[in-house]
Amino acid sequence: MSCGLHNFAGKFLNQLKIMKKYFIAIMLLLLASLSSLRAEDKPVILHPSSTTHGAGQGKKPRKPAHCPNWVPDTPDGDDSDYTKGPLDENGFPADIPSMIADSIIYITQDTEWSLRKYVYHKVYVYGQKTLRITNDINFYRGTGIYLASGSKLIVDGGSLIDVSINFVGTSGTSIEIIHDGSIKTLDSQDFAVPLGVSLIVQNGKIE
């Protein structure tokens, strides 16, 4: 009789061990399901993608590391196109308002632009003053440089991109392109120098 009870007790303990394993497995599954439900209950926070400058709410907007220095530090819908701004109500990158290009930057003393710039404004160079370009300067949709009589524009190893060159006066006005400098106008515009303007291109190019 005691032998039978011993065998029964052994089988019962084995069954308990098996049931314990199943119980642990079921509890682990339940815990995993509860964790998943908790995660789904949390609000979803969408972080801006690499094509937008903005960080999270309350953080200072910042542009991606791959953006050129001249790209503005403002929330943007498409960093690959400098003419595009924030997303519109339909989710498409909106054009940067043309009013940005309405004001004027006055060059009233000899000036060198040695850092990359993105220019939204008209640039007016006063007579007897020099604007020297030693880095890449990008102009918003053909925003132009206006040269007064006696002014000088020197593109010294830098480049003017998508620029419109305009002559307010011609007497004594000069343009020099040296040290692999370049001027690239918009495709729809031709580069023309009127009589009276001196143009020197030495190790440079006009596109």
pLDDT at 121: 84
Q: Are strands 174-178 and 144-147 parallel, antiparallel or unpaired?
A: unpaired
User: How many C-beta atoms lie closer than 10 Å to residue 202's C-beta?
Assistant: 10
Higher pLDDT, 97 or 207: 207
The model's pLDDT over 115-157, given as tens digits with 9 standing for 90+, comes to 988 888 889 999 999 999 999 999 887 688 999 999 999 999 9
With pLDDT > 70 as the criterion, what percentage of the chain qualifies? 60
Is 70 exceeded by the pLDDT of residue 87?
no
Higher pLDDT, 151 or 5: 151
pLDDT at 21: 74
With pLDDT > 90 as the criterion, what percentage of the chain qualifies? 31
pLDDT at 53: 43
DSSP of 121-156: SEEEEPTT-EEEE-SEEEEGGG-EEEE-TT-EEEEE
Check: CB of residue 51 under 8 Å from CB of residue 78: yes
> pLDDT band for position 98 (50/70/90)?
very low
| pTM (2 d.p.) | 0.54
pLDDT at 64: 60
Higher pLDDT, 120 or 160: 160
The model's pLDDT over 11-40, given as tens digits with 9 standing for 90+, comes to 767 777 777 777 787 888 777 776 655 544
Residues 6+ apart with CB under 8 A from 77: 51, 52, 84, 85, 86, 87, 88, 92, 93, 94
Per-chain mean pLDDT for the chain: 75
Place of tokens 């094509």: 51
